[in-house]
Structure 1
Amino acid sequence: MRTLPLLNSPAAGCDCRRCPWYAGDDAADPAAVIAPLCSGSNSTCAYCGCARAESSAPTGACATCPVRCGSRTDITAWMADLGGTLEFDDVAFDTTLPAGLPRFIPQLDGSRVTDWDSQLRWPAYGVGLRRVFSPATGTIYRRFVGADVHQVLDLRPGQLAVLVGYGEDPLVEAFWTRRRAQALVEQIAAGGWDLVLAPNYSIFGNWPRAQHLISMRMSLLIAAELADAGVPAVTNLYWYRLEDLRRWITWIDDTGPAAIAINLQTVRDDADWTSWALPGLHWLAENLPLALPVIITGLSRPARIRLAIALFGTRLHLVSQNPHQFALHGAVMTDRGRADRHARPVDAFTASVSYIASLLDRPGADT
């Protein structure tokens, strides 16, 4: 790993010509370009109303800003935390998927699994990060501290515990910021999780491009830190441009990860699905190594599930909390979506889990 000066941060004011990561041919000083990994600023940065640009800006405005950019007064500290670079090629780690991981993993709320599992005896269950880690206190919830997660969740012998490390931005940002002071990674490792889908850091189209680059680097580093602590961790892939997908493929080809994960929980409306998620999924299906497992979280519509199956075949694993959420209201998932049946929760849960699993096992699902 080469050591880079920490002053090689994204340029202030999104000034591409002076940015050390700019891939264009009009840089003010081409020799100062560290790595040409960004094709330029976003067409809109509507989310970034930089308080420093206002004459009435309060002192320390950057400290309350959710966006990281080259104009931040603390950008050097953020670059130090990222290892001084926005590249991927210095990160590699070994991990393995647990044996017997099913193609569908239902996600529960962190309570006892046994009652929900009474009719299924399902091989694995997932739990979201917000059920394990508190952003308010920056600590692991007491019931998980120093305890085997299999016992906390009341899993049967042989059932796998999967930590789905996704959540709203305040949650995953707090995990990053406090992970060292609170030994969060070490505590996750001590819990004995069979698989951890590492936290993913957001990429929104109306954020500065610098934030995209930082978020992708954070997502990769947090997975590496978990893996280095002995956790079977899988990196989450986010992207915004084709160049991002190409960078991920280069990293995958160079390092040979055990699997990759994709979180689509935030892709709710059709516009985001058709303009961002779907093209990216098609591209990944064509360019990922053919045997590489793909773990997708957040698909809830049968049509989208079928499309993912068509793209990735038998290497696809799905994680979803919909069976549990529907069951709390006596509803089940069907070919037409949610159906209110006023069923007993355990019966509704069993029906939905069985239905999604059947989609994955139907003829044609291995295409």
Structure 2
Amino acid sequence: MSPTDLPMPTARIPVPTRGCDCTACPFWAGPDGTGGPATVEALCSGTNSDCSYCGCSRAEADAPSGVCGTCPIRCPSRDNLRAWMADVGATLAFDDLHLADHGLPRLPGYIPQVDGTNVAELDEHLHWPAYAVGLRRVFSPRSHRIYPRWREGARAHDLLGLRPGQKAVLSGYGEDPLVEAFWSLRRRDQLIEQIAAQGWDLVLACNYSIYGNWPRLEHLINMRRSLLLATEFADAGLAVAPNVYWFRLEDLERWAQWIADTRPPAIAINAQTMRSAADWDRWLLPGLHWLAAQIPAELPVIITGLSRPDRIATATHLFGTRLTLLNQTPQAYGLHGEVMGAQGRRRVHASTPDAFRSSVRYFASLMPRTSEVHP
């Protein structure tokens, strides 16, 4: 049973204070950093100065009820915030969440993400150890159901046409509407059971976004939701790498403490939305440096979305042979007869399978482990 299944009287659920009033918030760390009355952790050091939602009319004391129904942002002034807090287990902490450990499959240093079709053709003459498929190829963003081809006993290895010993990885990342729909389904447990029945060797758990112009509460709820979903996948019997996202140093410190306490089989970091130089320099790179120095030296790290050789080189320098890289570049380029190589992106007018195989080998050559796998 997940924390969201536990009944709790609504009146007892702590909620942040309307208008982002830190001094009255039960989760504010306070000037001494010891934590608010709802937690002993220093969950939040204060409001996000870059928030674009601080002028919301709902923050006014006389605001009418029901005005938050169409707003996707969970801020302290929401009229249904207590329901959202109940939905994440009435807390924003991590210390009640533990990941069932089903081990980690043997992974190569590089895993290509594909669309789930014609994998056998792409893999011809390649025989790659593992392939990944994105969540939107399995779970429909329109119907909010598993696609028909993935239902009723369908096995991931069979549908992908994998050879014996090849691994199937479900990359649970997607655009915000997709992962929000996944979370909001009334019987999410049944959906996860369907996915578990597909026999994936590893699931990279969904990540919920943290944008710089969002309220701090949205960050805290989304980190909690990401970890909650990871525990639900693991409870269904799947090997899971939880997604680690952060906005402040205190977030990284909480993640490091949770990792030290629970020893997950691996962690995953989604870098797909961190494309600009500013994102890399100000957010992703400092966080990677901090994690490399603080998490256990043997903990495998799976990063999705890096494709620039210089950034890959930095990541491999930080994490060494425990790093696995996953991206969609070989198939995306291959569809246009393009390859990624030492000379950069080039149009060579090759067939999609040939271009795909060339790019896969190139990315693998950038990793400390090429055809080798985790022991």
What's the TM-score, normalizing by structure 1?
A: 0.92
- Distance of aligned partners of 1:107 and 1:48 in 2 relative to their CA distance in 1, 3 Å threshold: farther
Q: CA deviation at 1:34?
A: 3.1
3-state SS in 2 of match to 1:360: coil
Out of 34, 38, 44, which is 2:39 matched to? 34
Worse-matched range after superposition: 325-334 or 290-299: 325-334
CA distance in 2, matches of 1:323, 1:15: 48
Aligned length: 362
| Contact 1:21 1:37 survives alignment (8 Å) | yes
| Structural RMSD (CA) | 2.5
Q: 2:167 is matched with which residue? A: 160
Which runs of 5 or more structure 2 residues have no equivalent in the other structure? 371-375
Deviations 1:159-207 (A, max 9, x none): 1110000011001111011162572111111111110000000001100
Residue 250 of structure 2 corresponds to residue 249 of structure 1: no
| Contact 2:208 2:223 survives alignment (8 Å) | yes
Q: CA deviation at 1:51?
A: 5.2
Residue 86 of structure 2 corresponds to residue 80 of structure 1: yes
Deviations 1:122-174 (A, max 9, x none): 11100000111012212111110121111111112221110000011001111
| Contact 1:67 1:211 survives alignment (8 Å) | yes
Q: CA deviation at 1:81?
A: 1.1
Deviations 1:17-42 (A, max 9, x none): 11111011399xx9745343110001
Which runs of 5 or more structure 1 residues have no equivalent in the other structure? none
Deviations 1:57-103 (A, max 9, x none): 89733121111022111111111111110000000122244433111
Out of 141, 146, 160, which is 1:135 matched to? 141
CA distance in 2, matches of 1:280, 1:358: 25
CA distance in 2, matches of 1:94, 1:327: 38
**Which letter does structure 2 place at the counterpart of 1:291?**
E
Q: 2:31 is matched with which residue? A: 25
**Which letter does structure 1 place at the counterpart of 2:71?**
C
Q: 1:316 is matched with which residue? A: 323
Out of 155, 176, 192, which is 1:148 matched to? 155
- Distance of aligned partners of 1:252 and 1:148 in 2 relative to their CA distance in 1, 3 Å threshold: same
Residue 246 of structure 2 corresponds to residue 239 of structure 1: yes
Out of 55, 62, 75, which is 2:68 matched to? 62
Comparing both chains, which one has the higher relative contact order based on Cα–Cα distances under 8 Å and sequence gaps of 6 or more?
2
Q: 1:297 is matched with which residue? A: 304
3-state SS in 2 of match to 1:116: helix
Worse-matched range after superposition: 127-136 or 215-224: 127-136
Deviations 1:261-320 (A, max 9, x none): 000000011011100000000000111100000000000101111110000000000111
What's the TM-score, normalizing by structure 2?
A: 0.91
Q: 2:288 is matched with which residue? A: 281
Percent identity over paired residues:
59
Q: 1:187 is matched with which residue? A: 194
